[in-house]
Amino acid sequence: MEFTVSTDDRLDVVDVTDRVVGAVPENADTGTLTVFVEHTTAGVVINEAEPRLLDDVRAFLDGLVPDEGWNHDRIDDNADSHLRALLLGPSTTVPVVDGSLALGRWQSVLVIDCDGPRERTVRVGYTNASTER
Ligand code: ZN
């Protein structure tokens, strides 16, 4: 299945944990859930969705990559967005145990848009462990 995320800022973090939990199939047993963003300037990670930490994440990514001076800027002026996104990666995997996501107490699934505001598409797929044997 898939869902869309609307972002509000150029660099924005959206907690999608509830939507990912809702994407676990009813017949899920034990396996993995893959969460994937189909974009080159956004990423998905697992971390704590504490508001001040999310401010820190934005400041960290902003400071880590200079905004200007990249070759790709001659094409569409968003090299900094691509470079921030490649540090994050386009997917993450969460274990599913007895039909439930096995996230830790403080873990949330976060979509990080590095070139917003935009609509982002998030794909979620369940793989049953028994089919992998
Ligand atoms: Zn680009």
Q: Count up the domains in the chain and report the number.
A: 1
User: What spacing in Å lies between the alpha carbon of 42 and ligand 1's midpoint?
Assistant: 11
Residue 124, domain extent: 2-131
29: Cβ–Cβ under 8 A, 6 or more apart, which residues? 96, 98, 99, 128, 129, 130
Q: What is the pTM of this model?
A: 0.94
User: What spacing in Å lies between the alpha carbon of 7 and ligand 1's midpoint?
Assistant: 18
Directed axis angle between helix 79-88 and helix 51-64, to 10°? 120
- The predicted pLDDT at position 122 comes to 98
User: What spacing in Å lies between the alpha carbon of 82 and ligand 1's midpoint?
Assistant: 7
CATH number, position 32: 2.60.120.460
User: What spacing in Å lies between the alpha carbon of 54 and ligand 1's midpoint?
Assistant: 24
pLDDT < 50 stretches in the chain: none
52: Cβ–Cβ under 8 A, 6 or more apart, which residues? none
Residue 66 corresponds to which tokens in the numbers above?
């200079």
- The predicted pLDDT at position 131 comes to 55
Matching residue, tokens 């996501």: 101
